[in-house]
Amino acid sequence: MTAIPQGRTRRAALVSAMCALVVTGTGLTGCSSSDPDAGTNGVGKLPAEKIQSRTRAAAEAADTVRLSGTVVTNGRTYRLDMRLKEDGASGSVTSKGATFRLLRVGRHLFLKAGADFWSHQGGQGSGGSSHAGDAAADKLDDKYVKVPTGDPAYKRFSGFTDKSVLLDGLLTLHGTLATDGHHDQSGVRTIRITGDKGSGGTLDVSLEGKPYPLRLVRAGGAGTLSLTDWGKGFALKEPSKKETVDYGQQLPTS
């Protein structure tokens, strides 16, 4: 038998004594830790549909968020680490071993990548050559490329930097909604809601402070994302002319 430390015994006795003195309008009651919603924002007591509505409203009202994890779409896996706000974003995207940074300030979108990325892209498409790819890589290595708004790549890449578009597309559970108990995400108590018992995705919603979404598991194995740093500001600034270079042609479609 393991001995119980005296300090722990004394604390337990003190807690028991304090509980015995709790008075309600109907008389004495004992303390109870059986209510997982005690001291929370209360959304854990709501139906799943209302929890989803509350967390969407909280997410939309927040000025900023950091979104990190994986998204699988059209058979391709993207690893994201993006800090988002209403008028721009900054972060990185990785796919098939290639990583590039994205920076959007207002409508101006910039892409930054290393030589390996541009060398690989330079050989893509009709007429591409390894020499052309190497030349582009030398010119573009670790520089920001401003993506023209008319370039097809602008729409593709800017979607990773748009807080409203990303959250609207990601914070969706499919099928019948239900709650799935109380959980913990990095020390924060959460209530989990599911779509079709989890096959339609799961979403952990904070029970502390505002009911922000904290962790999303997308339906069909389409990725897992963490949503953190809600409301924490960060600076956005366009790169200087020394840091920027013109790609000189349509950005790679791949």
241: tokens are 């002319």
How would you write 123-180 as a 3-class SS string? CCCCCCCHHHHHHHHHHHCCEEEEECCCCHHHHHHHHHHCHHHHHHHHCCCCCCEEEE
The length of the chain is 254
What confidence tens digit (pLDDT) does each residue in 95-146 have? 888 899 999 999 999 999 887 777 766 544 434 455 555 666 777 888 899 9
* DSSP-derived 3-state class of residue 72: strand
Q: How many CA atoms lie within 13 A of 166 on its CB side?
A: 30
- Work out the mean pLDDT of the chain and round it to a whole number: 83
- Crossing angle between the packed helical segments 130-140 and 115-122, to the nearest 10 degrees: 150
Nearest-10 Cα torsion for 145, 149, 155, 159: 70
Contact residues for 28 (Cβ-Cβ < 8 A; gap 6+): 20, 21, 22
What confidence tens digit (pLDDT) does each residue in 199-242 have? 999 999 999 999 999 999 999 999 999 999 999 999 999 999 89
49-55 contacts, C-beta under 8 A, 24 or more apart: 49/177, 51/179, 51/191, 51/193, 51/205, 51/211, 52/173, 52/177, 52/193, 52/203, 54/205, 54/211, 55/171, 55/203, 55/205, 55/211, 55/212, 55/213
Q: Rounded to whole angstroms, how far apart are CA atoms 242 and 138?
A: 15
pTM of this structure: 0.78
pLDDT confidence of residue 127: 45
pLDDT confidence of residue 185: 95
